[in-house]
A and B are shown apart, each in its own frame.
Chain A
Amino acid sequence: MRCKVISTVFNLVLISLKKFSIISWALLLGVPAAYALSRFDFKGESVINAFFVSPILIPGIVLGFAFLRFIVGTYQLPIYAALFVGHTVIMLPFIIRVISSSLSNFDFSIEVAAESLGASKLGTFFTVVLPNIRSGILAAVMIAFLESFNNVDISVYMTGPGVSTFPIQMLTYVENYFDPTISAISVLLMFITAFFMFIVERLMGLSYFTKR
């Protein structure tokens, strides 16, 4: 029993680590995208915006199947790649939206101030923009984590031998056994989610997710 608890905890940590590596990658895409969308006015801005948000609008079951079809089917990539890409795509809209709202409070004349004092464009981004949206980034990381952690509809396609996600394992478990383990885990998950949402609320206020 004790051994089982330890391995579960170990598994959770492992999952988290994998998650955060995907999140880092999604941030690398999402932060510059959010920045560009907030900072510049350009042709087709609304189209690009819609494109980034579209994964929320398309049913996950459809999206997941498309990934499976192309990544594993057409391109013959391992199932891990599908999981990786799939989860990046789920996270991106949330990351972009949260960071965009954080940037909407950012006064871009501060950038000009930094540049007039001698900072380069890139230097300005790192020394002035990033430090001022760090709470937004942290909130984005948590939301992305939760979104990806709790996702079933896309993940359900991306499991194979030895490759699975936590909620999918839970689903399989319920199909095969009927004992209180799942109830216990569910309560645990609810606490984790509540805890994350609490931190996000502290950081930015939940109103950030109701406005665009």
Chain B
Amino acid sequence: MALFTLQDISVAYNKQNILKDFNLEIEKGKLVSLLGPSGCGKTTTLRLIAGVLQANEGKFLFKEKDYTKVPVNKRNFGFVFQNYALFPHLSIFDNIAFGLRLRKNAKSEIEKKVMNVLEIVNLKGFEKRYPQELSGGQKQRVAIARALVIEPDILLFDEPLSNLDANLRVNMRVEIRRIQQELGITTVYVSHDQEECFSISDQVAIMNKGIIEQLSDPATIYKYPETKFVADFIGFKNFIDFDKRKDHDGKIELNKSGYSFVLHKDPQMSNSTGKIGGIRPDDLLIREKDNKGAVQENSLPGRVKVSTYLGRSYQYVVETPIGDFTVNKEMAESYRTGQEIILEIPRNQMVLVD
């Protein structure tokens, strides 16, 4: 049973729809990410769940009760911001105790809870400091502690790691996942970083222009994107708009401008009848042109247009009769700009989307 549900939600700013007929259901104890490019409505969705923003239409159900009109301060949801939003005039202790004091907890109780949560976020001994005296990572821990200490029913994160440097980001996301699982707290996590979302989520919702394009567990999304947008977003950089598609038992035949391709039919692949094929730069094979003449299966003749050094590998942009492709290839063999080559699409590496 879902802990909370967004039902046919619409939000508009200045008569412009930001969310339209938006539906989302989240189960108790799960960590669900909203992932999408900047401006797609992630923060709006989060603010809506928090109660900061009122929907123009639709309902917000919490434990099957209508919470649509319940104001922020009566919801008991924790909110963690990208810019931490700590109270600059209060010490770390008072920052964390803020919610408890409003709940009229006894003094000894407050002390116990604050110390306890400081231990959870590994910040013992910092209670007398002020926010300006902490590093970014420490501030974000305080923000998490402040949200956790009120024992919220839902924890909301809005790009909490965007202001931290790369190493710290990885540590913090592991930390967030650990705390979330230890306390079994239902969490909605917003980010535009794919790796971050995939690494910590039970489920990921890929958003585009105010709608959810796909909601699934990370592994499924990574392997079986259902729409072109999702495929593109998670790294299928090459797309072929096929002219014909023919489904057989166990395989699919595709054709583009006279070049034919065969794919394995993966039973887990979506039932879509889409004719757009997507493939990652890492999965395309590139080899020197041989003089055997006949074109082999799933292969295309091409010419290297641009070659870029990526460190571990080279990236080539290859010109073919059916468009340009981006290919990554390890260092060992390299190709010159202008060289004639053959591109091959492995049978099981392409997805088909609408």
Contact = CB atoms under 8 A, between A and B. Distances in A.
Given A109-B81, A117-B146, A123-B102, 18 more contacts: A109-B85, A110-B88, A112-B52, A113-B87, A115-B52, A116-B50, A116-B72, A116-B75, A116-B78, A116-B79, A117-B99, A117-B102, A118-B73, A118-B99, A118-B150, A119-B73, A119-B98, A120-B73
B18 to A, nearest CB: 16
Contact of B103 (A112, A113, A118): A118
A115 B85 CA distance: 12
A114 interface: yes
Say which size band chain A's interface belongs to: 10 to 19
Interface of B: 50, 52, 71-79, 81, 83, 85-89, 98-99, 102-103, 143, 146-147, 150
Contact of B88 (A115, A120, A132): A132
Nearest to A106: B88
Interface of A is mostly: helix
A128 interface: yes
Contacts, number: 62
A109 B79 CA distance: 10
Contact of B50 (A107, A110, A112): A112
A131 interface: yes
A137 B50 CA distance: 32
B87 A115 contact: no
B83 A115 contact: no
B87 A110 contact: yes
Contact of A117 (B52, B81, B83, B98): B98
B150 A117 contact: yes
B87 to A, nearest CB: 6
Given A117-B98, A117-B150, A112 B72 contact: yes
A113 B79 contact: yes
B72 A128 contact: no
6 contacts: A109-B83, A116-B79, A117-B78, A117-B102, A117-B146, A120-B73
A113 B72 contact: no
Contacts of A132: 87-89
A129 to B, nearest CB: 10
A184 B102 CA distance: 55
B63 to A, nearest CB: 18
**Nearest 4 interchain pairs by C-beta:** A117-B99, A116-B79, A118-B102, A113-B85
